[in-house]
A and B are shown apart, each in its own frame.
Chain A
Amino acid sequence: DAGVTQSPTHLIKTRGQQVTLRCSPKSGHDTVSWYQQALGQGPQFIFQYYEEEERQRGNFPDRFSGHQFPNYSSELNVNALLLGDSALYLCASSLESADNYGYTFGSGTRLTVV
């Protein structure tokens, strides 16, 4: 059990559509980060949410947006999907006040854009 729950596990979307991915952090964690892992590549940082605000952002276009709710869960939204958005999307949670870089990753959502 990863402790971090992501849904859905798989989905297929058509180019131009919009998608929402969801993440429930590990119990006790308050920070959520999102990563994109393309096939054969390492995860790339998209953004991070803490206290319901985007705190850090990687090199991703504005089509990628997110939200964090009061219960610390988070959503990743991608608009105007491109074929190149096909990837495994990973959510990682952690505790801001902890000093041990304790990231916990979920198993990811596999997005296929056709």
Chain B
Amino acid sequence: AQSVSQHNHHVILSEAASLELGCNYSYGGTVNLFWYVQYPGQHLQLLLKYFSGDPLVKGIKGFEAEFIKSKFSFNLRKPSVQWSDTAEYFCAVNAPGSGNTGKLIFGQGTTLQVKP
């Protein structure tokens, strides 16, 4: 069965620090990969996604993620965080061929707190 593991449960950074959140998945086949963000009191929003092609994916708000197939990883990065990046971040996978609307398997999330 597919699973997603996010190693950092709670991260505290100062503004302008660099961010890297780890995500590993277990699935033997090809996967689609996602990072979602949930700001306090708001709905889940898509940050970026990877289906195929260039393993370095750029998303909204200056975020990027790198897919490393050999490591089953899809880590999220941002060179310089802002206070407004304080939120919960979720990594998710689903299997292509399960349909455009196939189920997403989420990690347990990482809470990012950015100190001004």
Contacts and interface: CB of A to CB of B under 8 A. Distances in A.
Interface string B30-43: 00101010000111
Contacts of B34: 101
A42 B108 contact: yes
Interface in A65-102: 90, 92, 94-102
A43 B104 CA distance: 9
Contacts of B108: 40-42
Interface residues of A, number: 32
Contacts of A99: 100
Contacts of A95: 100
Interface in A1-50: 2, 4, 31, 33, 35, 40-45, 48, 50
Contact of A105 (B43, B49, B102): B43
Nearest to B111: A40
B109 A103 contact: no
A100 B100 CA distance: 7
A100 B107 CA distance: 21
A66 B92 CA distance: 24
Given A90-B44, A107-B42, A108-B43, A41 B49 contact: no
B67 interface: no
Contacts of A41: 108-109
Contact of A58 (B43, B45, B103, B109): B103
A96 B100 CA distance: 6
9 contacts: A2-B42, A31-B101, A41-B109, A42-B108, A43-B44, A90-B43, A94-B100, A94-B101, A101-B51
Interface of B: 4, 6, 32, 34, 36, 41-46, 49, 51, 90, 92, 94, 98-109
